[in-house]
Structure 1
């Protein structure tokens, strides 16, 4: 057969009622293919008088689907096991979304708002002393955060201060996970860092809300006093 193997059609290898084994053997030799394929090809049914039907090889039934097309077209990134810590049954959806946004640096801490051109002074609400509020500082390095990490670390015979994570979010989650190998993702040891960060964030937002409410009440009182003074002056 002096024919290009890439130009061979199925009908060229089909006789009147069965496959042409001699042609198939020659094609397999030209393509450096194992001869075991010959038996599989010969067992494949073929009806020459019927029209060809397109088959989608990415699904078992051969039918094209949106999901299989998306899997083919999408860009696959390396799997990040860090998400398994907060996408589980024992973590609520609110906690999971918060932690997901935290890993992507999408939570509105002071430095993030300043980066978005908001004119404001930064002060961490989890520290007694003045400190700039970043996500890492608020949830790992602040006074309240360090106390919580050390408390639960000693509770589980682990020293949070000795973790070589440089005070960063993702290394802290991974380091904590490595301290308990073989632990189920539903165990308290596994989800405890997520709970610490979640409740630190809640307390910070609660403190911020109280501050704004206090400022709002003070502003209303000052406005009311100014209005009364104007009325007394006019009277």
Structure 2
């Protein structure tokens, strides 16, 4: 185990700089760990070191977050509950590409960063929208300011603290929600995903209101 000059992360920095000392890191860690360390972004502002749980937005461990982490790790792709909502997807009055997205969402195969990383694709797992929390399903679509503003903008309010399974929640809505509510839900989910990718690949940042208004305009085309 690397103990460094003082046992702190900063002991792996270049002297006087907030940059990884690549040579030192690779001398003291196996390749897989060294690669992960060197891919970690170093905050450029001074913050005190603290112990955090990476799967929580505020760094605190909770039973709910632990369950979600376990669920994604041990069930994940194999969890596709049986319900009458599956057939309803293909009868929604939305573009086919959004129906496919909804189907993938319900199958729990939307390629969020946490899922890709857990399957060996070495990419940062931090959400590019908030740049703080891990990008998993519940976080990306419900659990930070941009997502919350998107839901509020279209007049939908839910108690997300009770949602432990993102795709299970949508499958339940496919079963019992009215047509107008269900259409809004699907468009919000797709809009968040679309504009997240626009930020990642095109560097385009928009407000939640613009994201939702432009996404819903597709229905009028």
Give the TM bin, normalised by the shorter chain: 0.3 to 0.5
Bigger Rg over Cα: 1
| Greater RCO structure (CA 8 Å; 6+ sep) | 2
- Taking structure 1 as the reference length, the TM-score comes to 0.45
Q: TM-score, normalised by structure 2?
A: 0.48
